Chain A
Protein backbone atom coordinates (compact mmCIF):
# COMPACT_ATOMS: atom_id res chain seq x y z
CA UNK A 1 0.00 0.00 0.00
CA UNK A 2 1.40 3.40 -0.98
CA UNK A 3 1.67 5.80 1.91
CA UNK A 4 0.83 9.49 1.49
CA UNK A 5 3.89 11.33 2.75
CA UNK A 6 3.69 14.79 1.20
CA UNK A 7 2.20 17.38 3.51
CA UNK A 8 1.15 20.26 1.28
CA UNK A 9 -0.04 22.38 4.19
CA UNK A 10 3.38 22.37 5.84
CA UNK A 11 4.94 25.81 5.53
CA UNK A 12 8.62 26.53 5.97
CA UNK A 13 9.92 27.26 9.48
CA UNK A 14 12.82 29.70 9.78
CA UNK A 15 14.91 31.91 12.03
CA UNK A 16 16.94 35.06 11.42
CA UNK A 17 19.27 37.43 13.23
CA UNK A 18 20.96 40.67 12.35
CA UNK A 19 24.66 39.84 12.00
CA UNK A 20 25.64 43.51 11.96
CA UNK A 21 24.20 44.25 15.40
CA UNK A 22 26.14 43.63 18.59
CA UNK A 23 24.00 42.77 21.63
CA UNK A 24 26.81 43.98 23.92
CA UNK A 25 26.09 47.56 22.84
CA UNK A 26 22.45 47.30 23.85
CA UNK A 27 21.12 48.86 27.02
CA UNK A 28 17.79 47.01 26.90
CA UNK A 29 17.26 43.53 25.52
CA UNK A 30 13.61 42.49 25.38
CA UNK A 31 11.77 39.57 23.88
CA UNK A 32 8.27 38.70 22.79
CA UNK A 33 6.89 35.20 22.35
CA UNK A 34 3.66 34.70 20.44
CA UNK A 35 2.35 31.19 21.02
CA UNK A 36 -0.46 30.90 18.51
CA UNK A 37 -2.78 28.02 17.79
CA UNK A 38 -0.89 27.05 14.64
CA UNK A 39 2.47 28.86 14.76
CA UNK A 40 4.78 30.29 17.39
CA UNK A 41 7.13 33.22 16.95
CA UNK A 42 9.85 34.64 19.17
CA UNK A 43 11.34 38.09 18.64
CA UNK A 44 14.40 39.62 20.33
CA UNK A 45 14.92 43.38 20.24
CA UNK A 46 17.95 45.46 21.14
CA UNK A 47 16.86 48.88 22.41
CA UNK A 48 13.62 48.55 20.48
CA UNK A 49 15.25 47.44 17.22
CA UNK A 50 14.57 44.03 15.70
CA UNK A 51 17.59 41.80 16.28
CA UNK A 52 16.43 38.19 15.91
CA UNK A 53 13.31 36.12 15.38
CA UNK A 54 12.07 32.62 14.73
CA UNK A 55 8.85 31.26 13.26
CA UNK A 56 7.83 27.65 13.79
CA UNK A 57 4.78 25.43 14.19
CA UNK A 58 3.19 25.24 17.62
CA UNK A 59 3.37 21.79 19.14
CA UNK A 60 0.95 20.14 21.50
CA UNK A 61 2.60 21.72 24.52
CA UNK A 62 2.58 25.53 24.82
CA UNK A 63 5.52 25.89 27.27
CA UNK A 64 7.71 23.72 25.02
CA UNK A 65 6.62 25.63 21.92
CA UNK A 66 7.50 28.92 23.59
CA UNK A 67 10.87 27.60 24.76
CA UNK A 68 11.70 26.10 21.35
CA UNK A 69 10.79 29.29 19.50
CA UNK A 70 12.86 31.42 21.88
CA UNK A 71 15.88 29.09 21.78
CA UNK A 72 15.77 29.07 17.99
CA UNK A 73 15.57 32.87 17.82
CA UNK A 74 18.58 33.12 20.14
CA UNK A 75 20.58 30.49 18.21
CA UNK A 76 23.86 31.91 16.90
CA UNK A 77 23.31 35.34 18.49
CA UNK A 78 25.58 34.79 21.49
CA UNK A 79 22.63 35.53 23.79
CA UNK A 80 20.85 33.23 26.21
CA UNK A 81 17.50 33.62 27.95
CA UNK A 82 19.35 34.96 31.02
CA UNK A 83 20.44 37.99 28.98
CA UNK A 84 16.85 39.09 28.34
CA UNK A 85 15.75 41.99 30.54
CA UNK A 86 12.04 41.46 30.00
CA UNK A 87 9.95 38.91 28.13
CA UNK A 88 6.29 39.25 27.23
CA UNK A 89 4.14 36.28 26.26
CA UNK A 90 1.21 36.71 23.90
CA UNK A 91 -1.14 34.64 21.73
CA UNK A 92 -3.39 31.73 22.67
CA UNK A 93 -0.70 30.19 24.84
CA UNK A 94 0.42 33.43 26.50
CA UNK A 95 -0.34 32.27 30.01
CA UNK A 96 1.77 29.16 29.41
CA UNK A 97 5.07 30.87 28.67
CA UNK A 98 7.06 29.89 31.78
CA UNK A 99 9.88 32.38 31.28
CA UNK A 100 7.64 35.40 30.50
CA UNK A 101 7.53 38.34 32.92
CA UNK A 102 4.04 39.27 31.76
CA UNK A 103 1.26 38.09 29.46
CA UNK A 104 -0.45 40.59 27.15
CA UNK A 105 -3.27 39.84 24.70
CA UNK A 106 -2.37 39.35 21.05
CA UNK A 107 -4.82 42.13 20.13
CA UNK A 108 -2.79 44.78 21.95
CA UNK A 109 0.47 43.24 20.69
CA UNK A 110 -0.63 43.16 17.03
CA UNK A 111 -1.68 46.81 17.23
CA UNK A 112 1.67 47.77 18.71
CA UNK A 113 3.64 45.55 16.31
CA UNK A 114 1.62 46.76 13.33
CA UNK A 115 2.34 50.36 14.30
CA UNK A 116 6.09 49.64 14.09
CA UNK A 117 5.92 47.45 10.99
CA UNK A 118 3.70 49.71 8.91
CA UNK A 119 4.17 53.10 10.52
CA UNK A 120 2.09 55.34 12.77
CA UNK A 121 -0.44 56.13 10.01
CA UNK A 122 -1.98 52.65 10.36
CA UNK A 123 -5.50 52.81 11.76
CA UNK A 124 -6.91 49.40 10.83
CA UNK A 125 -5.09 46.09 11.22
CA UNK A 126 -6.44 42.77 10.11
CA UNK A 127 -4.66 39.85 11.73
CA UNK A 128 -5.37 36.68 9.81
CA UNK A 129 -4.07 34.05 12.16
CA UNK A 130 -3.95 30.28 12.24
CA UNK A 131 -7.30 29.66 13.89
CA UNK A 132 -8.83 33.07 14.35
CA UNK A 133 -9.18 36.40 12.71
CA UNK A 134 -8.96 39.81 14.39
CA UNK A 135 -10.02 43.19 13.14
CA UNK A 136 -8.24 45.89 15.14
CA UNK A 137 -8.55 49.67 15.07
CA UNK A 138 -5.72 51.63 16.66
CA UNK A 139 -4.46 55.15 17.18
CA UNK A 140 -1.18 56.74 16.09
CA UNK A 141 0.64 55.22 19.09
CA UNK A 142 -0.52 51.70 18.31
CA UNK A 143 -3.05 51.64 21.15
CA UNK A 144 -6.19 49.64 20.44
CA UNK A 145 -9.36 51.72 20.06
CA UNK A 146 -11.72 48.99 18.84
CA UNK A 147 -11.31 45.30 18.23
CA UNK A 148 -13.24 42.27 17.19
CA UNK A 149 -12.12 38.71 17.06
CA UNK A 150 -13.70 35.65 15.52
CA UNK A 151 -12.43 32.28 16.65
CA UNK A 152 -15.67 30.37 16.46
CA UNK A 153 -14.89 28.87 13.06
CA UNK A 154 -11.80 28.13 10.97
CA UNK A 155 -13.31 29.75 7.85
CA UNK A 156 -11.20 32.79 7.07
CA UNK A 157 -8.14 31.53 8.92
CA UNK A 158 -4.79 29.97 8.09
CA UNK A 159 -5.92 26.54 9.18
CA UNK A 160 -8.74 26.66 6.61
CA UNK A 161 -6.18 27.45 3.93
CA UNK A 162 -4.01 24.52 5.07
CA UNK A 163 -7.01 22.20 4.69
CA UNK A 164 -7.50 23.38 1.11
CA UNK A 165 -3.80 23.08 0.23
CA UNK A 166 -3.89 19.48 1.36
CA UNK A 167 -7.18 18.70 -0.36
CA UNK A 168 -5.91 20.01 -3.70
CA UNK A 169 -2.30 18.80 -3.26
CA UNK A 170 -0.92 22.30 -3.80
CA UNK A 171 1.99 23.54 -1.64
CA UNK A 172 0.58 26.22 0.66
CA UNK A 173 3.08 28.86 -0.49
CA UNK A 174 1.78 28.51 -4.09
CA UNK A 175 -1.94 28.73 -3.31
CA UNK A 176 -2.22 32.51 -3.65
CA UNK A 177 -0.50 32.91 -7.02
CA UNK A 178 -2.24 29.86 -8.51
CA UNK A 179 -5.64 31.18 -7.45
CA UNK A 180 -4.97 34.34 -9.45
CA UNK A 181 -4.00 32.43 -12.59
CA UNK A 182 -7.58 32.14 -13.90
CA UNK A 183 -9.50 33.64 -16.82
CA UNK A 184 -12.66 34.47 -14.95
CA UNK A 185 -13.41 34.84 -11.23
CA UNK A 186 -15.62 31.93 -10.08
CA UNK A 187 -18.39 32.36 -7.48
CA UNK A 188 -17.05 31.84 -3.94
CA UNK A 189 -17.57 28.56 -2.08
CA UNK A 190 -19.27 28.50 1.33
CA UNK A 191 -17.69 30.98 3.71
CA UNK A 192 -19.65 29.79 6.74
CA UNK A 193 -17.63 26.71 7.58
CA UNK A 194 -14.40 25.07 6.42
CA UNK A 195 -15.96 21.60 6.51
CA UNK A 196 -18.82 22.74 4.25
CA UNK A 197 -16.37 24.57 1.99
CA UNK A 198 -14.24 21.43 1.70
CA UNK A 199 -17.25 19.27 0.73
CA UNK A 200 -18.30 21.89 -1.80
CA UNK A 201 -14.79 21.97 -3.25
CA UNK A 202 -14.74 18.16 -3.61
CA UNK A 203 -18.02 18.36 -5.55
CA UNK A 204 -16.65 21.11 -7.79
CA UNK A 205 -13.55 19.04 -8.56
CA UNK A 206 -15.77 16.11 -9.51
CA UNK A 207 -17.72 18.44 -11.79
CA UNK A 208 -14.48 19.16 -13.60
CA UNK A 209 -13.35 22.46 -12.07
CA UNK A 210 -9.59 22.99 -12.25
CA UNK A 211 -7.57 23.24 -9.01
CA UNK A 212 -6.83 26.89 -9.77
CA UNK A 213 -10.54 27.67 -10.09
CA UNK A 214 -11.38 25.93 -6.81
CA UNK A 215 -8.57 27.80 -5.06
CA UNK A 216 -9.86 31.05 -6.51
CA UNK A 217 -13.34 30.25 -5.19
CA UNK A 218 -11.95 29.53 -1.71
CA UNK A 219 -9.66 32.60 -1.59
CA UNK A 220 -12.65 34.68 -2.63
CA UNK A 221 -14.83 33.14 0.12
CA UNK A 222 -12.12 33.82 2.67
CA UNK A 223 -11.77 37.46 1.62
CA UNK A 224 -15.52 37.91 1.79
CA UNK A 225 -15.65 36.37 5.25
CA UNK A 226 -13.12 38.75 6.77
CA UNK A 227 -14.66 41.78 5.09
CA UNK A 228 -17.75 41.19 7.27
CA UNK A 229 -15.53 41.34 10.36
CA UNK A 230 -13.77 44.46 9.18
CA UNK A 231 -17.01 46.23 8.38
CA UNK A 232 -18.17 45.71 11.93
CA UNK A 233 -15.26 47.69 13.40
CA UNK A 234 -15.12 50.03 10.40
CA UNK A 235 -12.19 50.30 8.02
CA UNK A 236 -10.17 53.49 8.24
CA UNK A 237 -7.06 54.23 6.19
CA UNK A 238 -4.21 53.25 6.48
CA UNK A 239 -4.99 49.57 6.39
CA UNK A 240 -2.54 46.72 7.02
CA UNK A 241 -2.67 42.94 7.26
CA UNK A 242 -0.64 40.77 9.63
CA UNK A 243 -0.43 37.00 10.12
CA UNK A 244 0.37 34.16 7.75
CA UNK A 245 -2.45 34.82 5.30
CA UNK A 246 -0.94 38.24 4.58
CA UNK A 247 1.52 36.23 2.46
CA UNK A 248 -1.28 34.79 0.32
CA UNK A 249 -1.62 37.06 -2.72
CA UNK A 250 -4.88 35.37 -3.76
CA UNK A 251 -6.72 36.36 -0.57
CA UNK A 252 -5.10 39.79 -0.25
CA UNK A 253 -5.81 40.82 -3.87
CA UNK A 254 -9.48 39.85 -3.50
CA UNK A 255 -9.74 41.49 -0.10
CA UNK A 256 -8.32 44.75 -1.45
CA UNK A 257 -10.81 44.59 -4.31
CA UNK A 258 -13.77 44.07 -1.97
CA UNK A 259 -12.65 46.89 0.34
CA UNK A 260 -11.55 49.10 -2.55
CA UNK A 261 -8.47 49.81 -0.48
CA UNK A 262 -4.81 48.85 -0.83
CA UNK A 263 -3.11 47.19 2.13
CA UNK A 264 0.23 48.66 3.21
CA UNK A 265 3.38 46.68 2.49
CA UNK A 266 6.20 46.13 4.97
CA UNK A 267 9.75 44.80 4.95
CA UNK A 268 9.02 42.92 8.18
CA UNK A 269 7.75 39.35 8.18
CA UNK A 270 3.97 39.67 8.66
CA UNK A 271 3.89 36.63 10.94
CA UNK A 272 6.03 38.24 13.66
CA UNK A 273 3.70 41.21 14.32
CA UNK A 274 2.38 39.80 17.62
CA UNK A 275 5.79 38.83 18.99
CA UNK A 276 7.26 42.14 17.84
CA UNK A 277 4.51 44.04 19.65
CA UNK A 278 5.12 41.92 22.75
CA UNK A 279 8.83 42.75 22.71
CA UNK A 280 7.98 46.45 22.34
CA UNK A 281 5.63 46.22 25.33
CA UNK A 282 8.55 44.58 27.16
CA UNK A 283 10.79 47.56 26.40
CA UNK A 284 8.18 50.02 27.66
CA UNK A 285 7.70 47.99 30.84
CA UNK A 286 11.47 47.79 31.53
CA UNK A 287 11.75 51.53 31.11
CA UNK A 288 8.79 52.05 33.45
CA UNK A 289 10.43 49.81 36.05
CA UNK A 290 13.75 51.66 35.76
CA UNK A 291 12.02 55.04 36.14
CA UNK A 292 10.23 53.78 39.25
CA UNK A 293 13.40 52.46 40.87
CA UNK A 294 15.28 55.70 40.07
CA UNK A 295 12.73 57.77 42.05
Chain B
Protein backbone atom coordinates (compact mmCIF):
# COMPACT_ATOMS: atom_id res chain seq x y z
CA UNK B 1 0.00 0.00 0.00
CA UNK B 2 1.21 3.49 -0.80
CA UNK B 3 0.38 5.64 2.19
CA UNK B 4 0.54 9.38 1.50
CA UNK B 5 0.91 11.42 4.66
CA UNK B 6 0.63 15.19 4.48
CA UNK B 7 -1.67 17.70 2.84
CA UNK B 8 -2.17 20.11 0.03
CA UNK B 9 -2.95 23.74 0.67
CA UNK B 10 -2.82 27.01 -1.23
CA UNK B 11 0.97 26.94 -1.26
CA UNK B 12 1.49 23.47 -2.69
CA UNK B 13 1.43 19.71 -2.11
CA UNK B 14 3.36 18.26 0.81
CA UNK B 15 3.25 14.50 1.03
CA UNK B 16 5.62 11.85 2.32
CA UNK B 17 4.79 8.57 0.61
CA UNK B 18 5.59 5.27 2.31
CA UNK B 19 5.25 2.09 0.28
CA UNK B 20 4.24 -0.22 3.10
CA UNK B 21 4.56 -3.35 0.95
CA UNK B 22 8.31 -2.68 0.95
CA UNK B 23 8.28 -1.79 4.64
CA UNK B 24 6.92 -5.12 5.85
CA UNK B 25 10.16 -6.97 5.17
CA UNK B 26 12.37 -4.26 6.68
CA UNK B 27 13.60 -5.26 10.12
CA UNK B 28 15.85 -2.35 11.16
CA UNK B 29 13.29 0.38 10.33
CA UNK B 30 16.18 2.82 10.08
CA UNK B 31 13.92 5.68 8.97
CA UNK B 32 12.74 6.16 12.57
CA UNK B 33 16.20 6.90 13.94
CA UNK B 34 17.36 8.75 10.81
CA UNK B 35 14.74 11.52 10.85
CA UNK B 36 16.07 14.49 12.83
CA UNK B 37 12.52 15.82 13.22
CA UNK B 38 11.33 12.51 14.68
CA UNK B 39 8.44 12.23 12.20
CA UNK B 40 8.49 8.46 11.73
CA UNK B 41 7.05 5.73 13.90
CA UNK B 42 6.38 2.01 13.51
CA UNK B 43 2.73 1.03 13.69
CA UNK B 44 0.63 -2.08 13.20
CA UNK B 45 -1.62 -1.12 10.29
CA UNK B 46 -5.22 -2.12 9.59
CA UNK B 47 -4.06 -5.33 7.95
CA UNK B 48 -1.93 -6.31 10.99
CA UNK B 49 1.41 -5.55 9.31
CA UNK B 50 4.21 -3.73 11.10
CA UNK B 51 5.03 -0.72 8.94
CA UNK B 52 6.45 2.80 9.13
CA UNK B 53 4.12 5.78 9.30
CA UNK B 54 4.29 9.51 9.91
CA UNK B 55 3.13 10.42 13.40
CA UNK B 56 -0.45 11.69 13.46
CA UNK B 57 0.42 14.98 15.17
CA UNK B 58 3.09 15.75 12.53
CA UNK B 59 1.00 15.11 9.41
CA UNK B 60 -0.34 18.64 9.05
CA UNK B 61 2.99 20.37 9.47
CA UNK B 62 5.48 18.31 7.49
CA UNK B 63 6.25 21.24 5.21
CA UNK B 64 7.86 22.94 8.20
CA UNK B 65 9.19 19.87 10.01
CA UNK B 66 11.05 18.72 6.88
CA UNK B 67 12.25 22.24 6.09
CA UNK B 68 15.69 21.96 7.78
CA UNK B 69 16.53 18.87 5.66
CA UNK B 70 15.62 20.72 2.46
CA UNK B 71 17.96 23.66 1.95
CA UNK B 72 17.43 25.60 -1.28
CA UNK B 73 20.94 24.88 -2.58
CA UNK B 74 23.37 21.95 -2.13
CA UNK B 75 20.59 19.68 -1.02
CA UNK B 76 21.97 16.28 0.05
CA UNK B 77 19.86 13.14 -0.07
CA UNK B 78 17.20 13.36 2.62
CA UNK B 79 18.16 11.32 5.72
CA UNK B 80 14.90 9.34 5.70
CA UNK B 81 15.32 8.36 2.05
CA UNK B 82 19.01 7.55 2.52
CA UNK B 83 18.27 5.37 5.56
CA UNK B 84 15.40 3.47 3.98
CA UNK B 85 17.12 0.43 2.43
CA UNK B 86 14.01 -1.00 0.73
CA UNK B 87 13.42 2.39 -0.97
CA UNK B 88 9.95 2.79 0.48
CA UNK B 89 10.08 6.51 1.33
CA UNK B 90 9.62 9.40 -1.11
CA UNK B 91 8.70 13.09 -0.83
CA UNK B 92 6.41 15.04 -3.16
CA UNK B 93 8.24 18.36 -2.84
Contacts and interface: CB of A to CB of B under 8 A. Distances in A.
Interface stretch (A143-151, A178-186, A198-206, A250-258): A143-151
Given A104-B46, A105-B46, A152-B60, A147 B10 contact: no
Interface stretch (A16-24, A47-55, A225-233): A225-233
Interface residues of B, number: 14
Contact of A146 (B2, B9, B92): B2
A147 B2 contact: yes
B64 interface: no
The CB with the most chain B CB atoms within 10 A, among A105, A137, A150, A192, is that of A150
Interface of B: 1-4, 7-10, 13, 15, 46-47, 60, 92
Contacts of A281: 46
Query: Which applies to chain A's interface (DSSP): helix, strand, loop or mixed?
Result: mixed
A264 interface: no
Given A192-B9, A232-B13, A148 B46 contact: no
Interface of A: 104-105, 107-108, 137, 143-153, 192-193, 228-229, 232-233, 281
B46 A108 contact: yes
Given A151-B60, A229-B8, 7 more contacts: A145-B2, A146-B4, A147-B4, A150-B8, A192-B10, A232-B8, A232-B92
14 contacts: A105-B46, A108-B46, A137-B2, A143-B1, A146-B1, A147-B2, A147-B3, A148-B4, A148-B15, A152-B60, A192-B9, A192-B10, A232-B4, A232-B15
Contacts of A146: 1-2, 4
A39 B64 CA distance: 31
Nearest to B46: A108
